[in-house]
């Protein structure tokens, strides 16, 4: 197992390198415009552009720039380790801003993940057990709504209805509006500010997980070993909880790991709607601005998150499904 994990970690490092290199390539082979011109001030002269290019390191060929990037990443730069360079935009170290923004995105992703797993799996299980009932139809109606409603629209509606800055009925406005409050400032405000964006983000996933859980459980309940469990004389509750869920939730674990990993790379729309200064809203602006160091840093964080989570998922899966363990 240890050898397997080490092998996987090397592989993950390789994948991360390839992903960052591709990001470099995309920005240099298909440039949306010379970033140096953008950041050289109004009416730049050829000299200022050249100066900015030199300052940004853009005068060198892309592979040399990539080499410098990797070297700084591994050994650190003047702002510390890992070295991500500075943002073209603010001329502040990307590393520092990343450290500031990362927790916000992680809180958002984890909060949403907890909500959607609880809500989605519960609805899915109830729906599967009461298949065909009114409850099932309502649940699946909710799921259809959740899957189809665009997040930006949901976010705005939620803000209108529930936020004290919105225009909804007054008795509903018990939550604060947009923005993020650090935990160290006020744990209560931190938590209250987290609720709406987490729930809005969770809704889409909850709907998706409800459908997946329902489908998996219905399929599992038709398996022969469920019939065996019933033939043993187990109560239906036990048949579902111990035999049905065990088999039907295993694939959900895989999905869950990947979904959380992707969100660590930024929940772009939710962050934008809720003015949430996380990595998602950051990277989207950086992309429009050709702010390469920021884009590469966030892509790298996302790639690392996906690689690490997929490793965790594989290890957890081996514990959940013995058939995988022995292969």
Partner 1 sequence: MTPELGDVLLEVRDLSVEFPTPDGVVHAVDGLSFSVRRGETLGIVGESGSGKSVTNLALLGLIRGARISGEAIFKGRDLLSLSGDELRRIRGKEIAMIFQDPFASLHPMYRVGDQLVEAIRVHEKLPAKQAEERVVELLAAVGIPRPRERFRDYPHQFSGGMRQRAMIAMALLNNPDILIADEPSTALDVTVQAQILELIDRVKREFDIGVILITHDLGVVAEVAQTVMVMYAGRSMELGSRREVFGTPLHPYTWGLLESIPHVDQKVSRLVPIEGSPPSLIHVPPGCPFHPRCPHRFTPCDKERPEFRDRGGGHPEACHLSADDRVRLRAERRARLMKVAV
Residues 243-282 touching partner 1, rule: CB under 8 A, are: 243, 246-247, 250
Binding segment for partner 1 (CB under 8 A), chosen from 30-38, 111-119, 183-191, 226-234, is 226-234
- Cβ closest to partner 1, residue 33 vs residue 233: 233
Distance CA 283, CA 136 (A): 40
* Minimum gap (Å) between residue 2 Cβ and partner 1: 22
Applying CB under 8 A, among 59, 100, 314, 321 the residue interacting with partner 1 is 321
Q: Centre a 10 Å sphere on the Cβ of residue 230 and count the other Cβ atoms it contains.
A: 15
3-state secondary structure of 102: helix
Q: Closer to partner 1 at the Cβ: 21 or 234? A: 234
Residue 80's DSSP bridge partners are 77
Tell me the C-alpha distance between 31 and 138, whole Å. 49
Helix-helix angle 94-129:187-221, to 10 degrees: 40
Q: Is 222 one of the binding residues for partner 1 (CB under 8 A)?
A: no
Strand, coil or helix: 88: coil
Query: Which stretch in 111-119, 134-142, 144-152, 230-238 sits in contact with partner 1 by CB under 8 A?
Result: 230-238
221: Cβ–Cβ under 8 A, 6 or more apart, which residues? Answer: 128, 240, 244
Please report whether residue 237 would count as binding partner 1 according to CB under 8 A.
Answer: no
Q: Which of 2, 170, 233, 288 binds partner 1 (CB under 8 A)?
A: 233
The least distance separating partner 1 from the CB of residue 225, rounded to whole angstroms, comes to: 4
Query: In angstroms, what is the minimal distance from the CB of 120 to partner 1?
Result: 22
**Alpha carbons 142 and 146: distance in angstroms, whole number:** 6
Smallest gap from residue 315 Cβ to partner 1 (A): 16
Residue 116 is encoded by which pair of tokens?
Answer: 């959607």
Contacting partner 1 (CB under 8 A), which of 38, 55, 60, 230? 230
Of the candidate spans 34-42, 187-195, 218-226, 262-270, the one that interacts with partner 1 by CB under 8 A turns out to be: 218-226
Distance CA 290, CA 26 (A): 11
Q: What one-character DSSP code corresponds to residue 178? A: S
130: helix, strand or coil: coil
Binding flag, residue 225, partner 1 (CB under 8 A): yes
Q: Which stretch binds partner 1 (CB under 8 A): 72-80, 141-149, 254-262, 314-322?
A: 314-322
Q: Please classify residue 155 by burial: count the beta carbons closer than 10 Å to its beta carbon, then call 0-12 exposed, 13-18 middle and 19+ buried.
A: buried
Report, in Å, the least distance between residue 243 CB and partner 1: 6
Q: How far is CA 271 from CA 78, 132, 179, in A?
A: 30, 37, 9
Query: Minimum distance between the CB of residue 263 and partner 1, rounded to whole angstroms?
Result: 28
User: Is there binding between residue 42 and partner 1 (CB under 8 A)?
Assistant: no
Residue with Cβ nearer partner 1 (191 or 317): 317
Q: Which residues bind partner 1 (CB under 8 A)?
A: 223-225, 227-235, 243, 246-247, 250, 320-323, 326
């Amino acid at each position: 197992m240890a050898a397997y994990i080490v092998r996987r970690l090397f592989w993950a490092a390789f994948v991360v390198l390839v992903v960052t290199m591709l990001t470099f390539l995309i920005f240099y082979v298909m440039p949306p415009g010379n970033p140096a011109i953008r950041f050289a001030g109004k009416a730049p002269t050829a000299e200022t552009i050249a100066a900015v290019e030199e300052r940004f390191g853009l005068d060198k060929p892309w592979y040399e720039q990539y080499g410098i990037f990797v070297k700084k990443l591994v050994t650190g730069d003047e702002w510390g380790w890992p070295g991500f360079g500075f943002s073209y935009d603010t001329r502040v170290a990307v590393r520092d801003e990343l450290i500031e923004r990362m927790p916000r995105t992680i809180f958002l992703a984890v909060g949403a993940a907890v909500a959607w797993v609880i809500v989605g799996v519960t609805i899915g299980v109830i729906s599967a057990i009461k298949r065909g009932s009114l409850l099932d139809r309502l649940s699946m109606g909710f799921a259809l709504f959740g899957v189809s409603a665009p997040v930006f629209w949901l976010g705005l509606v939620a803000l209108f209805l529930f936020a004290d800055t919105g225009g909804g009925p007054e008795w509903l406005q018990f939550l604060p509006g947009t923005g993020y409050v650090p935990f160290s400032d006020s744990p209560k405000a931190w938590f209250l500010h987290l609720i709406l964006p987490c729930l809005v983000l969770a809704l889409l996933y909850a709907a998706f997980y409800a459908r997946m859980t329902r489908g998996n459980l219905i399929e599992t309940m038709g398996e022969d070993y469920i019939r065996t469990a019933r033939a043993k004389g187990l109560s239906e509750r036990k048949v579902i909880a111990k035999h049905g869920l065990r088999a039907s939730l295993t694939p959900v674990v895989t999905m869950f790991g990947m979904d959380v990993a992707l969100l660590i790379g930024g929940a772009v729309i939710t962050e934008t709607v809720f003015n949430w200064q996380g990595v998602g809203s950051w990277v989207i602006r950086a992309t429009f601005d050709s702010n390469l160091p920021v884009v590469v840093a966030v892509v790298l964080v996302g790639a690392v998150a996906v690689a690490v989570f997929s490793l965790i998922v594989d290890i957890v899966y081996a514990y959940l499904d013995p058939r995988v363990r022995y292969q």
